[in-house]
């Protein structure tokens, strides 16, 4: 049986407990590997290694650090297919999406490597003569990264690459469900020549390893993507230590379809957004807010198109909807469907665990559409994280925006319309970190900031230039070459 180890100070090693847990393929329940279960002791060793390595790394010129990241990019490219296959076996998304996700990491590597020659600060005129003023970014120290299973390499790339190019060292805890792709990503850093100690992988549970990282006095910041529940807990503990946290959490994303929209285009966007990655994207389309005049036609078209979505093992190229991550997830989704029915929503299609056609060993849930949903229902407000979408009818753009913004989350939203005036109004008023026009709720590109408003985050962003803010402090520097005491705000006024 393949064993997945920790990577600490440039060495692959089992945890101090010697315990392992199985890694399952969600499409068929097959055991793929076993992963080591670490404790605080392993976190301590990883932090010590990171601390030592960072002392030298912060002095390496950023373009030189970036040279290693370019190599990471080339290796990711070379191993793209292998990584995609592992990712799909381990977490279930269909292979085409697995490839897309690896591509996101490739794009991120080259983009962030380019930042090695920028990392811009400001140079500004001083208000005094013979004085020079500028700001520079400096590393914070040790970044603790805690990542989820649904984008196991893309999110790890969003966090580790900017952390390293800016001169930090990293301690990374991947999700328990996806250690295999994490191992492969770390091997790529190793093969690219990243000096030992700069990237440490510690496998284990969130409650043990995650907590030990959050509480560790020498981990200077925590960058977390995952559920709200865990994010809030992390923020509380880290806040007490005045530790920086960057939190990306849940969503309850909606596509708004106005009466003048191209309905066929909207149908494609809805199916891709609601059922891609079996609805387990943080940007998944979980609500459709539709003008009442086109509601029935949209429903008809959705039902006709949903027929074509083949379910099965994501490694089969013809499959469009893979399994959900585990049994408890499957049960939670089914529970929400029951709640929806009790609340009086009308089930248009789906609403059941699928076990026929050899799918009984995996965690398959039928693509599900509810209609006649009202904004107060739990299925319209809470994140389900599965292939379930709720249709809500409205009578105007204003009402659509109100419904869109009525949830506690603010990650992504989309509007389908042909009216430029109403589109611009929506672009202004939709309260989410991502807004799509005539496109579904997923599809972020790595060179813009990724993240959300309200309950989705705490104001930080992954990817884009904005991600550099998570991993750096600003230092403002004043150089006085006048040879005399010059007092700002006093001697020049
Ligand atoms: P999760 O349970 O919050 O887990 C995320 C990570 O946190 C995992 O590595 C987990 O470890 C760890 N963790 C769990 N408990 C912890 C604790 N007490 N202290 C420290 N770390 C802890 O989330 P999930 O169920 O894996 O992922 C689904 C959620 O992620 C959804 O809510 C989704 O919306 C969100 N998500 C958000 C974004 C975004 O950018 N906004 C992107 C993707 C996903 P274990 O695996 O060992 O439990
Ligand atoms: Mg969890």
Residue 148 CA to ligand 1 center (angstroms) comes to 5
My answer on whether 408 and 464 are in the same domain is no
Residue 207, pLDDT above cutoff 90 = yes
My answer on whether 174 and 96 are in the same domain is yes
Q: Is residue 327 assigned to a domain?
A: yes
* CA-closest residue to ligand 1 atom 30: 226
My answer on whether 328 and 198 are in the same domain is no
Q: Is residue 487 assigned to a domain?
A: no
Q: What is the CATH number of the domain that holds 291?
A: 3.40.309.10
Q: Is residue 488 assigned to a domain?
A: no
Residue 233, pLDDT above cutoff 90 = yes
* Cβ of residue 149 lying under 6 Å from some atom of ligand 1: yes
* Cβ of residue 150 lying under 6 Å from some atom of ligand 1: yes
* Cβ of residue 148 lying under 6 Å from some atom of ligand 1: yes
What is the number of domains present in the chain?
2
Q: What is the pLDDT of residues 1-26, one digit of tens each?
A: 999 999 999 999 999 999 999 999 99
Nearest to 106 by CA among 455, 446, 480, 476: 446
Q: What is the pLDDT of residues 114-126, one digit of tens each?
A: 999 999 999 999 9
**Structural domain range at position 365:** 253-437
pLDDT band at 287 (very low <50, low <70, confident <90, very high): very high
pLDDT band at 308 (very low <50, low <70, confident <90, very high): confident
My answer on whether 465 and 430 are in the same domain is no
Residue 125 CA to ligand 1 center (angstroms) comes to 45
CA distances (Å), origin 467, targets 13, 374, 377, 463, 491: 31, 37, 35, 5, 39
Q: Is residue 483 assigned to a domain?
A: no
Would you name the residues annotated as active-site residues?
248
My answer on whether 8 and 156 are in the same domain is yes
Q: What is the DSSP string of 55-76?
A: HHHTTS-HHHHHHHHHHHHHHH
Residue 386 CA to ligand 2 center (angstroms) comes to 14
My answer on whether 286 and 184 are in the same domain is no
* Cβ of residue 206 lying under 6 Å from some atom of ligand 1: yes
Distance, CA of 344 to CA of 333 (rounded, Å): 17
Q: What is the CATH number of the domain that holds 101?
A: 3.40.605.10
Distance, CA of 469 to CA of 466 (rounded, Å): 6
Q: Which ligand gives the minimal distance to the CA of 250? A: 1
Q: Is residue 451 assigned to a domain?
A: no
My answer on whether 316 and 345 are in the same domain is yes
* CA-closest residue to ligand 1 atom 26: 148
* Cβ of residue 383 lying under 6 Å from some atom of ligand 1: yes
My answer on whether 224 and 317 are in the same domain is no
Q: What is the pLDDT of residues 327-350, one digit of tens each?
A: 999 999 999 999 999 999 999 999
Sign for the CA dihedral angle at 297, 301, 304, 310 comes to: negative
* Cβ of residue 282 lying under 6 Å from some atom of ligand 1: yes
Q: Is residue 443 assigned to a domain?
A: no
Residue 114 CA to ligand 2 center (angstroms) comes to 34
Q: What is the pLDDT of residues 414-468, one digit of tens each?
A: 999 999 999 999 999 999 999 999 999 999 999 999 999 999 999 999 999 999 9
* Cβ of residue 233 lying under 6 Å from some atom of ligand 1: yes
Cα-atom radius of gyration of the chain, to the nearest Å?
24
| In contact, 441 and 285? CB cutoff 8 Å | yes
Residue 475 CA to ligand 1 center (angstroms) comes to 32
**What's the pLDDT at 81?**
98
My answer on whether 179 and 192 are in the same domain is yes
Q: Is residue 399 assigned to a domain?
A: yes
Model pTM score: 0.98
Q: Count of CB atoms within 10 A of residue 322's CB?
A: 31
- Atom of ligand 1 minimally distant from the CA of 177: 46
Residue 292 CA to ligand 2 center (angstroms) comes to 37
Q: What is the pLDDT of residues 135-190, one digit of tens each?
A: 999 999 999 999 999 999 999 999 999 999 999 999 999 999 999 999 999 999 99
| In contact, 423 and 417? CB cutoff 8 Å | yes
* CA-closest residue to ligand 1 atom 4: 226
DSSP state, 457?
A: B
Q: What is the pLDDT of residues 293-306, one digit of tens each?
A: 999 999 999 999 99
Distance, CA of 194 to CA of 109 (rounded, Å): 14
My answer on whether 257 and 241 are in the same domain is no
Reported as type and span, the H/E element at residue 386 is none
My answer on whether 340 and 467 are in the same domain is no
**What's the pLDDT at 470?**
98
Q: Which ligand gives the minimal distance to the CA of 43? A: 1
Q: Is residue 125 assigned to a domain?
A: yes
- Atom of ligand 1 minimally distant from the CA of 176: 46
Q: Count of CB atoms within 10 A of residue 120's CB?
A: 11
* Cβ of residue 147 lying under 6 Å from some atom of ligand 1: yes
Residue 291, pLDDT above cutoff 90 = yes
- Residue to mutate (ligand 1; options 42, 181, 206; most atoms within 8 A of CB): 206
Nearest to 306 by CA among 359, 366, 354: 366
Nearest to 364 by CA among 350, 378, 377, 375: 350
Reported as type and span, the H/E element at residue 396 is none
My answer on whether 163 and 283 are in the same domain is no
Distance, CA of 432 to CA of 413 (rounded, Å): 6
* Cβ of residue 211 lying under 6 Å from some atom of ligand 1: yes
Q: Which ligand gives the minimal distance to the CA of 147? A: 1
């Amino acid at each position: 049986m393949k064993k997945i180890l920790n990577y600490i100070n440039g060495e692959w090693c089992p945890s101090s407990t010697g315990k392992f847990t199985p890694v399952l393929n969600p499409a068929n329940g097959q055991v793929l590997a076993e992963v080591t279960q670490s404790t605080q002791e392993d976190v301590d060793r990883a932090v010590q290694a990171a601390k030592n390595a960072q002392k030298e790394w912060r002095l390496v010129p950023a373009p030189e650090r970036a040279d290693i990241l370019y190599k990471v990019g080339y290796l990711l490219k070379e191993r793209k297919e292998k990584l995609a296959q592992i990712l799909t076996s381990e977490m279930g998304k269909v292979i085409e999406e697995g490839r897309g996700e690896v591509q996101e990491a490739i794009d991120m590597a080259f983009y962030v490597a380019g930042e090695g020659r920028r990392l811009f600060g400001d140079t500004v005129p001083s208000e005094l003569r013979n004085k020079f003023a500028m700001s520079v970014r400096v590393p914070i120290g040790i970044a603790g990264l805690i990542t989820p299973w649904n984008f196991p390499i893309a999110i790890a790339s969003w966090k580790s690459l900017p952390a390293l190019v800016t001169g930090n060292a990293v301690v990374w805890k991947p999700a328990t469900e996806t250690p295999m792709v994490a191992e492969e990503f770390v091997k790529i850093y190793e093969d690219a020549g990243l000096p030992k100690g700069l990237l440490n992988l510690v496998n284990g549970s969130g409650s043990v390893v995650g907590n030990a990282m959050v509480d560790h006095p020498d981990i200077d910041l925590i960058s977390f993507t995952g559920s709200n529940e865990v994010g809030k807990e992390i923020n509380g503990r880290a806040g007490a230590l005045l530790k920086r946290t960057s939190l990306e959490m849940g969503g309850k994303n909606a596509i708004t379809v106005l009466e003048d929209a191209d309905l066929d285009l909207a149908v494609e966007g809805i199916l891709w957004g609601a059922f891609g990655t079996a609805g387990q994207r943080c940007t998944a389309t979980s609500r459709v807010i539709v003008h009442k005049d086109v509601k029935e036609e949209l429903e008809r078209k959705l039902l006709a198109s949903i027929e074509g979505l083949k379910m099965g093992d994501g490694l089969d190229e013809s499959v469009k909807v893979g399994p959900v991550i585990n049994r408890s997830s499957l049960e939670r989704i089914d529970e929400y469907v029951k709640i929806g029915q009790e609340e009086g929503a009308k089930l248009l299609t789906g609403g059941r665990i699928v076990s026929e056609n050899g799918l009984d060993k995996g965690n398959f849930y039928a693509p599900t559409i509810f209609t006649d949903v009202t904004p107060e229902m739990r299925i319209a407000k809470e994140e389900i994280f599965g292939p379930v979408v709720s249709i809500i009818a409205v009578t105007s753009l204003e009402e659509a925006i109100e419904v869109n913004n009525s949830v506690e989350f603010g990650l992504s939203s989309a509007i389908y319309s042909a009216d430029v005036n109403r589109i611009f109004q929506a672009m202004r008023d939709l309260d989410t970190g991502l807004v799509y026009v005539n496109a579904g709720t997923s599809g972020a590109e790595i060179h813009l900031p990724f993240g959300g408003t309200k309950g989705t985050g705490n104001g930080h962003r992954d990817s884009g230039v904005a991600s550099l803010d998570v991993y750096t402090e600003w230092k403002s520097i004043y150089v006085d070459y006048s040879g005399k005491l010059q007092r700002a705000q006093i001697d020049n006024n």
